[in-house]
Each structure stands twice: as structure tokens, then as C-alpha cells.
Chains A and B, each alone.
Chain A
Amino acid sequence: QVQLVESGGGVVQPGRSLRLSCAASGFTFSSYGMHWVRQAPGKGLEWVAVISYDGSNKYYADSVKGRFTISRDNSKNTLYLQMNSLRAEDTAVYYCAKDWAIMDVWGKGTTVTVSS
């Protein structure tokens, strides 16, 4: 079945970096755009970034532009989110979601805590 599994979360100090991964299975990963969406503790969902099926197009929310980089390795069926210059307000559960237009399948998320 279609499955997305995030990993790479943890506790990190402000200003440091972290890379999240999202392993995809059960569908042709290379045919779909992919998103990262986050949810701060007790808050709503916030769109973070999207990447096209072939990695040629990438777009970001203003809140992360210049600090986060979305990428993918279609040979490994894996999506990535490189997060640099982390801030306390980046603390959240990070989800990956499939499909450029409708985010139809979501992973269970990985938790990132930015704290000194």
C-alpha cells in the first residue's frame, strides 16, 4: 500500500541544522510532486515546501525561504528537507505528503524540537 515514513527529527540547538527524510513506497515516487507540511505544538497545519516530480521546481513558504531546502532522490524513493539556521519557531511535527495538487497521502510525521 502507499506509505510515507518520515525520519531524522530530534532536539537541536538554535542556529544548528537538521536533515529530514521521507521514504516512499507503494507508488511510483518519481511521478509525483511532494510536499513538506509542519504543525507546531497545539497549532494548525502550515505548508512548508513543495518539489516537482523530477526535482526541477521547488517552492517555499516565506517563513522558511533561504533557510530550508527541499530535495529528492528518485533512485532511492526518498524526499528530503535540509533545515539550516533553525529557530525556536521551527519546533513542530514535520509531515511529508504526496501529490502536487491534493496532498492525498501523509506520513505519520517526525518531531523537530529547537531548544537550547
Chain B
Amino acid sequence: QSALTQPASVSGSPGQSITISCTGTSSDVGSYNLVSWYQQHPGKAPKLMIYEVSKRPSGVSNRFSGSKSGNTASLTISGLQAEDEADYYCCSYAGSSTFPHWVFGGGTKLTVL
């Protein structure tokens, strides 16, 4: 149950686009289209931003998009806004039919300059 690998921090200026990567293995990200992304502001609960690699829940801005290639998933935020500054976590299903389990990335702190 090893954690997925994310960059510790990324930054961008308002209006710019940034991408956060999430690298796993062929046992998790590479095998399942069950990658989710969560936004967490300080002292708050995580909020679902992307699920099943690239789907957006109702109410989430279309500035947020997700993709996957091989063992790496990515979250892209376009048109950066001040309120996007937060921690972002990826999560992937990593199990089998006999041992379902989930694994999170270590988190990425997004700073809007």
C-alpha cells in the first residue's frame, strides 16, 4: 500500500494554468480508471474535484480537468484564481476483488502568486 507520488508544491500566477502529476504503478493508477482528485483548504474537509480520471462533479468549475497516461494521472487547473490556493490530493483504487483498497498521493500545495 505505497502512496502515490505527487510534487510537494506547485505555483502559478492568476490566469495561468498549472498541472499536478500523480504517479502510481501498474497495480493502481495504471490498472483502473478510478482516480479522483480532492481539494483541501486549511482546516477544512477535502472536496471532490475530479473522479474517474476526468469527470467533474456538479458544481465544480470547468477550469479543473483530469487525465491519465499509463501510470500517471494529472490534474490541470486553468485560469488560476486566488481561491484555488489549497492542497490537492490524488487517490486511486489499488485493490483486487479479494482485497479492495485505496491509496492517496502525498499531496501538493498549490500557491497562487
Binding site for B on A (CB under 8 A): 35, 37, 44-47, 50, 57, 59, 61-63, 95, 101-109
Q: Which secondary structure dominates chain A's binding surface? A: loop
Indicate which residue in A95, A102, A107 contacts B48 across the interface (CB closer than 8 Å): A102
| Interface size grouping (class) on chain B | 20 to 34
Whether B66 sits at the interface, judged by CB under 8 Å, is no
Quick check: B36 and A59 within 8 Å, CB to CB? no
Given the interface contacts A101-B34, A106-B47, does A45 sit within 8 Å of B1 by beta carbon?
Answer: no
Binding site for A on B (CB under 8 A): 1, 3, 34, 36, 38, 40, 44-48, 51-52, 57, 89, 91, 93, 95, 99-107
Total cross-chain contacts (CB, 8 A): 62
Closest to A104 in B: B48
Chain B contacts of A44 at CB under 8 A?
3, 89, 104-107
Quick check: A47 and B104 within 8 Å, CB to CB? yes
Indicate which residue in A59, A102, A105, A107 contacts B101 across the interface (CB closer than 8 Å): A59
